[in-house]
Homo-oligomer: A and B are copies of this chain.
């Protein structure tokens, strides 16, 4: 895929400069590193990771990359002494490396830092492309699906763990802390877990605080601390009668389940999104199709894997769904007067349908 991309653009190298916090870097190198390093893939077969000298041994053992070079090996320290400034020395060292490998034109991903692209462009043609690994990552291998499934299962267990504290009418902060500590002890990391109640829940990204009122939205998206994959799961829990919230929830459940039925290999993501909008509008709610500030004010879903948000987008601009893609379907409705509701599953696309990785009753009624 990289070779084809390089051919299409008539370029010799695809160059990433990133740490393992960048999912595309981690996916392509298998190397965990805190500070950014250079990773070069070439049409001539180059597969080269340039790391600080002290990381060479670890990179040789732990990364999947064929060739490892230390900064010292390629003249960084000489350049540092000459240019004084570490960033200029680094850019110059990388430029010399690329030129010595015969680079005339390179491709870089969208998030490639401007200090480097502006330096390299003095002697090379530099073109920005969508990181091809983003697209590759959207379609999961079998082992990746198994990892996400494992995380989906623990997300549901964490939800049930949280339910105990909701029944005891603990505050949102306490429920969140209990969920996150439970997950951490099992080797998962959950940050900004949403446990949101009352009118605050009208803000879909508010993590929630204070007393649990008549309903509560719990949105849990842990990451495995072992392999780095995520899952994403949301249910809205009813604790007391609340007509408007119940009706909103019914509409979202119907929208989610009808949307899930549309998913299969070859369908456009936009179809899934439009299904959700159609149903919510049929129920009399607003959606983004009519630019409302309230109602269904976000997309239907997002791919999930090494990142919480990755390709595909399940929104207006349609990408074609492929077997192996894993994403969320999460209709929600948000009105300042009442608060918000959301139901969310993580699904994997199959040839003739999809599998829900977070099977759990849609209605969680504690009344």
Chain A residues in contact with chain B, CB under 8 A? 21, 32, 34-35, 53-55, 57-58, 72, 77, 80, 84-87, 108-115, 117-118, 126, 128, 130, 180-181, 184-185, 189, 191-192, 203-206, 225, 291, 293, 297-298, 308-309, 313, 316-317
Contacts and interface: CB of A to CB of B under 8 A. Distances in A.
Nearest to A55: B205
A295 B246 CA distance: 67
Contact of A309 (B34, B58, B203, B316): B34
B115 A128 contact: yes
A349 to B, nearest CB: 21
Contacts of A291: 72, 77
Given A21-B21, A128-B118, A317-B80, A53 B293 contact: yes
A129 to B, nearest CB: 9
A33 to B, nearest CB: 8
Given A111-B115, A118-B128, 7 more contacts: A80-B317, A109-B114, A110-B115, A111-B113, A181-B184, A189-B189, A191-B225
Nearest to A119: B128
A225 B173 CA distance: 13
B298 A54 contact: yes
Nearest to A127: B118
Nearest to A110: B115
A261 B47 CA distance: 46
A55 B207 CA distance: 12
Contacts of A192: 32, 34
Closest 7 CB pairs of A and B: A110-B115, A114-B117, A112-B114, A184-B184, A111-B113, A115-B128, A114-B128
